Amino acid sequence: MNEFWFLKIWFVLIGISFSIGKICVFSIIKNISDSEKEFSKIMSRTEAAFMLGVFIVNIEFALILNSDYKDYWKFGFWLVGFISSWAAFQFYLLDEQKLLPINDSKEKEKIDFSILFDYKSLLFFAIVIMIVFTEQIFNSWLPTFYKNTLKANSFFALQSSAFLALFSFIGRLLASKFVVKFAPLKIFFFCLISGILLTFSAYVIGQDTNIKIKILMILFPIVGVFIAPLYPMLNSKFLSKFSEKKVGKIVSIIILFTSLGGSIGSMSTAYIFQKNLGNYYLLFATIPLILILIFSIFYSIKEKLSEYIK
């Protein structure tokens, strides 16, 4: 159907399905993890697989839209549907008992909504909003920046998000390796500071018209390597403190905040391009990263104080 009202309903259904799936996957990861580091490792690999999927689908649609069959772009969703059906079938073949917590009791555990008023939890939610805000700035609007500001051709502009996803996959995969040897928060701060320096450097380089296109097209995917591990690292650190039965309910709250961050990120960036302020796009992307650093420092201090009191 080509009616716009149908597309809106379609995306609502996709969003609901994605949220439910994410809650289930996070709960399963918690159930099969023995420690915080194991949880971080599996979380990073899962999020890496997510970015690999984004890369494949972006490449697929870029190829369709730049071919003689661009009017049939909607048929590209058949690949997405096939992969989803295959994944569902794989879950069907699994032994369900292996995905359940070892100490599975019949007693239901209610979520404690006091976490919404806890200082450390509020810091966590603020950081999550800023991380998704930043990811949305890059993922959704990078093709627009490539085409309008860097004057890249349409095909390369469409593929910019795909290559950002590919390098994000590499970043999260590497993080899953390093988390075994280093504390998740150390990896988090290293990636965050590196992301800030690279993004601000990209803004400075972008002011020189002669060199900006060549360097920025290489620099942007590298930024993805450092920004991508932030979300799974922080999530695993926070969720590891809760029991298996509570994780699914906590994740539902996290999804609400991430949706808020993604929506604000899209609307804010749309406003920048609408006002022809694309040259300040990278400077704008640096602001939430700096706020993440400030909030993360306070979160880390609170974490250390909690361990000291214990």
- In order, the DSSP letters of 9-36 are HHHHHHHHHHHHHHHHHHHHHHHT-SSH
Tell me: pLDDT of 103 over 60.
Answer: no
Distance CA 254, CA 30 (A): 15
Give the C-alpha distances (Å, rounded to integers) separating 212 from 163, 200, 287. 18, 13, 21
Q: Which residue has the tokens 């979300």?
A: 231
Radius of gyration of the chain (CA): 20
Average pLDDT over residues 67-89: 86
Q: Which residue has the higher pLDDT, 116 or 238?
A: 238
Q: Report DSSP state, residue 277.
A: -
* Superfamily of domain 4-101+111-309 in the CATH hierarchy: MFS general substrate transporter like domains (1.20.1250.20)
Tell me: pLDDT of 102 over 60.
Answer: no
Mean pLDDT of all residues belonging to the chain: 80
Neighbours of 164 (CB within 10 A): 27
Provide the pLDDT for residue 190. Answer: 93
Q: Strand, coil or helix: what is 156?
A: helix
Nearest to 122 by CA among 310, 304, 309, 299: 299
Tell me: pLDDT of 195 over 80.
Answer: yes
pLDDT band at 196 (very low <50, low <70, confident <90, very high): very high
* 307 half-sphere exposure, CB direction, 13 A CA radius: 7
Tell me: pLDDT of 234 over 80.
Answer: yes
Return the top range by mean pLDDT from 65-69, 221-225, 236-240, 301-305: 221-225
Nearest to 233 by CA among 175, 182, 286: 175
**Whole-model pTM?**
0.80
The rounded percent of the chain whose pLDDT value lies above 90 is 9
The rounded percent of the chain whose pLDDT value lies above 70 is 86
Lowest pLDDT segment from 40-44, 167-171, 216-220: 216-220
Q: Report DSSP state, residue 68.
A: T
Contact predicate 164/172, CB 8 Å: no
Q: Strand, coil or helix: what is 167?
A: helix
Lowest pLDDT segment from 161-170, 195-204, 263-272: 263-272
Provide the pLDDT for residue 306. Answer: 63
pLDDT per position as a tens digit, 135-176? 888 877 777 777 777 777 766 776 777 888 889 999 999 988
Give the tokens for residue 86: 């295959």
